[in-house]
Structure 1
Amino acid sequence: EKSGVEAAFAELYIGRKVVLTPLPESRPDAVQKVRDAWEACGAVVVGMTPQEHDRVFAAVSHLPHLLAFGLVDDLAGRANAPLLFSHAASGFRDFTRIAGSHPEMWRDICVANRVALLEELDAYLAELGRLRTMLVEADGDALEAVFERARRARNAWAEGLPVRTGE
């Protein structure tokens, strides 16, 4: 949510992933120079195809930003926005932190990656539909199962462990 030169610091890339997306026509020596430069900054360099990059980051970066911006904009536009925001606490803060990010940059990212982002948004809308059905049917067991799977996956990710799929 911070951007620009003012947000930079010397250790910014130490231990952080940087994704290189060389094209078939990219010269291997040029790609290696870029890799070496990033590694000299302390980054962990990962290679992906541009298409893989777009799919991965649509899911784990672009969609969360879109959701955070959308939620805050929706709530801020309501007649009772002052009441809602006066009661927002840590859960809201944590979920919406990234809505404080640079709007112009995120506009450009979302539009440029709209094909992959729309696929992720459609998948998430389907998931919201499943959750809505669980609420309509007062299916607490199904909700709890979703929450438990999500909790396990989130905790594994936070601990640097493999995230398991399914039950």
Structure 2
Amino acid sequence: MAATAVFEKVVVFGVGLIGGSFALALKESGQVAEVVGFGRTLGSLTQALELGIVDRAGFNVGQEVSNADLVLIATPVGTTPEIMARIAPCLGPQTVVTDAGSTKEDVVAAARSHFGERLGQFVPAHPIAGAENSGALAARADLYRGKQVVLTPLPESTPQSIARARAAWECCGGLIRELSPAEHDRVFAAVSHLPHLLSFALVHELARRDNRDLLFAFAASGFRDFTRIAASHPEMWRDICLANRTALLDELDRYRAQLDEMRAALQSGDGERLEASFDIARTARRAWGEGGGRS
């Protein structure tokens, strides 16, 4: 630990992949003196302690939050309002709250409902990093290194709060970007939430077939790459899809229209039309990959 850590005390709600990796990254950077963890089960907290993710397990929210420099909410977005309601009466004047939710407008609405005069101490965030595995065992210190972290500050967020949240994510190795909450949700409905929905849908449809064992026996790298994210946490993605359902429904309708176009081309035997679509897609995908994108 550095002689003068940026954060004396950080409280993390949710000590799995996202929250656990945040804690490990701060510890590795030497910029936190103590990390206190809250989890939904004693088992998850015990595991986080054994793995050195947190220094102490938290049991009294008021006691731990009141003198914390930073609080991270890293639980499924459906539980965020409940956590905000619990911590709001306990926030010290110096405590900054950030989150790691994949949706932002619902999180902002919850913050407005619960934080009141403390709203300026909240800085929403979304680290663009993750894995199909979850839980404390999946946490790693380098998860956010070199990855984008989107901050969506509110008009009420104080400059000091924004600076502290930015510093925390930068200590984790994140590259900071800023969007409005609404813009964030539209963007990620297209490039994250829709792909997950499609991946889950394909695997679900195949899993219901009588010959599913035969199908999966012959599935190779293309199927593996396309469906990797279908191994993600079901509860988390249920909450994300519901929280961002307006933007996601719009993206789903756009995708269905694209599928209808391809179906029409197939039905009519229009190979030229199919190839033109494939060529546009290939060019865009290669440009994205060469620009540093990760599949």
Q: CA offsets, 1:118-151, max 9 Å, x none? A: 0100100011011111101111011111111111
Pick the aligned partner of 2:245 from 99, 107, 114: 114
What are structure 1's unaligned runs of at least 5 residues? 163-167
Moved more, 91-100 or 31-40: 31-40
The answer to whether the aligner puts 1:125 opposite 2:275 as a matched pair is: no
Aligned to 1:54: 185
What are structure 2's unaligned runs of at least 5 residues? 1-131
The count of residues paired between Structure 1 and Structure 2 equals 162
Aligned to 1:32: 163
Distance 1:84 1:64 in 2: 21
Q: TM-score, normalised by structure 1?
A: 0.93
Distance 2:182 2:227 in 1: 28
Q: CA offsets, 1:51-79, max 9 Å, x none? A: 01101111011000000000000010012
Aligned to 2:22: none
Pick the aligned partner of 1:146 from 277, 281, 288: 277
One-letter amino acid of the structure 1 residue matched with residue 211 of structure 2: N
Greater helix fraction, Structure 1 or Structure 2: 1
Distance 2:211 2:251 in 1: 31
State the Cα distance separating 1:89 from its structure 2 match.
Answer: 0.8
State the Cα distance separating 1:4 from its structure 2 match.
Answer: 2.5
Moved more, 28-37 or 106-115: 28-37
Aligned to 2:149: 18
Q: TM-score, normalised by structure 2?
A: 0.53
5 Å matches for 1:76-87? 76-87=207-218
Q: What secondary structure is seen at the aligned counterpart in 2 of 1:46?
A: strand
Aligned to 1:64: 195
One-letter amino acid of the structure 2 residue matched with residue 151 of structure 1: R
One-letter amino acid of the structure 1 residue matched with residue 278 of structure 2: F
Identity %: 63
Moved more, 131-140 or 153-162: 153-162
One-letter amino acid of the structure 2 residue matched with residue 125 of structure 1: R
Aligned to 1:102: 233
One-letter amino acid of the structure 2 residue matched with residue 5 of structure 1: A
State the Cα distance separating 1:31 from its structure 2 match.
Answer: 1.1
Higher relative contact order (CA 8 A, sep 6+): 1
The answer to whether the aligner puts 1:88 opposite 2:219 as a matched pair is: yes
Whose Rg is larger? 2
Q: What secondary structure is seen at the aligned counterpart in 1 of 2:190?
A: helix
